[in-house]
Chains A and B, each alone.
Chain A
Amino acid sequence: MRGERASGLALALGALVALGSVGLARAQQPSAEDLARETAKLELRLEAAKEDGAYLVLNPASDALVVMLQNVALREIAVLDADVGAPRTLFMARKGPRDLAGRIWRAGSVDPPLVVQRRELIVEKIDPDPTGQEEIVPPTPQEAYPAPERFRVRFEGGLEMLVESYRGPEGERGSAKLGSTGWFRERWETLWPGKASPLRLRLLLDAKDAAELWRSLPQEGVRLLVEP
């Protein structure tokens, strides 16, 4: 009698647990909106991966700017600070494009651009005694292409990505604060109509990372995907 009761109790408990787990699983299932968002995100990633050339992916969740090629991470750069802004007139931000994360920004041109130095050798005749030639030790990339403190990538559609270098103590996070020169420079830019981009994404990177990024970016046709 007692054994029957115990088994009945165990059965009831088991049923309860099963029902509970089914309910929990249902509750944890993503909604149609979540799935639609995930679909849109994956579609954008796939679109970027299918096109030729390296592209940038900015992931706000992981504070990283990733150089990618065909959906493969080539290089991750830590973003020390990032903000988004629009030019202001009389303390009011002008209206710009809002869909920062819903598209691939294309045709970005780098300012100032890196101009590749090419040495041209013209072979006119055979030099019978080439031993007299001096060995030329070319400069390192850092010497040949010193990177600017800040650079911009202007994309089609009105987005400007401003990359600023942070030269602080190693391991210390950058500060979002502008220096006085930065404050004046920003105001000077936005004072003139047409000079400022309608939407600005400002990234603060470690100085070494920023310099290497500037050198390795394709000078025309940069693509950027901001992950939602």
Chain B
Amino acid sequence: MGEFAYFILFLLIVAFLLQVDFIFYIVYVCIGVYAWSRWYTPRGLQRLEVRRRFPERAFYGEQVDVTLEITNRNRLPLPWLQLHESIAVQLRAGPVMRRVLSLGGRKTADCTYTIAGRWRGYYRLGPLRLETGDLFGLFPAQTGHLAADYFTVYPRIIPLSQLGLPSRLPFGTIASRQRLFEDPARPMGVRHFRSGDSLRQINWKVSAHTQELMVRTLEPAISLETAVLLNLHSGDYERRSRLNTVEWAIEVAASLAVHLVNRRQPVGFMTNGVDPLQGTTAAASTFDEESGRLRMQRPFGDQVGQRTLTLPSIIPPRNGRTHLMKILERLARIESDDTISFNQWAPNACLHLSWGVTILAITAAGDEATCHTLHRLVRSGFNPILIVVEPDRNFGHVRQRAQRLGFAAYHVAVRRDLDGWRRPLWRQP
């Protein structure tokens, strides 16, 4: 369409030379249309405000509405505006978001589409490509972009009701059958005074009322300060089923963390996997073209023997929903890799933990080396519990070995194995 400029020039020359006044009118109209198309199209795009509104996190299986709010700050309308939002394949819950709309002057339009959290991960949402152009095709279309946002899908959480994990820490909030750990903040009733009862336990008001010495009875309670130790060293998992088993291990870790936080227990999290976002920003990260998930970046000098991978930072045990979100976000991003073996990593990782902390060690198999590592933790004053996530026909041997070495072992290879922990409380024996 570059011929149009030459045409206007030709018209001008003819009009000047032959002095046909009306040709000037045509020239003015042509110049007007040409100038408007050249000036207004980029300006219309520049004065466009686009915002993406959506909840940045979603649970597994949840559907989320993403709204694109487009505001035209010009007084004049934008005849057409094409939108194309890049959405990760694993998030799509319908057709691709490609729309074209017209926007009036100083008007706002909303475009809403739905995404679904089908797979845990840290996803990129966007970028949004905006395209507009003049009405006559005199100039190429103008494009703009709205930077990408990021969306986290938490791992699947299996609701648990009763874990039955033992603890050595008194004065917590979980009821215990060990009378040793009676919690003065949890009065249960009164009984007659017996010899040996502490004078501080006497309920003086009730004693005065009944004219007999009565003592308070307290509900025993423990504190289950827990650290989830997730082994994501790829070498420890069977190659064939590694992908599924790793995901399962992450789901188990997430379910345990959620359950404990719901019971108001402090939970920490440690892993020898890799967090792709560790030490970098989302904008600088690379995302998988197919799935749209955050992709792990190999560090510089990634050769055998020269690995410089940094493990994700330790999340110390704390309670509260905010802390849980932090753990779940980490679990959403984490990937297994050939980092450092569990037996080398676990003792050092637990160094900063307090005495008596329950360590939920989630790992692929309960081999002898793993059991010995956990035994070392027992000897260090921790309360390790082994949770094996790979199918193991001889898990009885592992359990016996664990018993001998002073810790409990559970086999949670499939979802059915969690049924014992998912049973409602009133059906517990």
Does B bind A? no
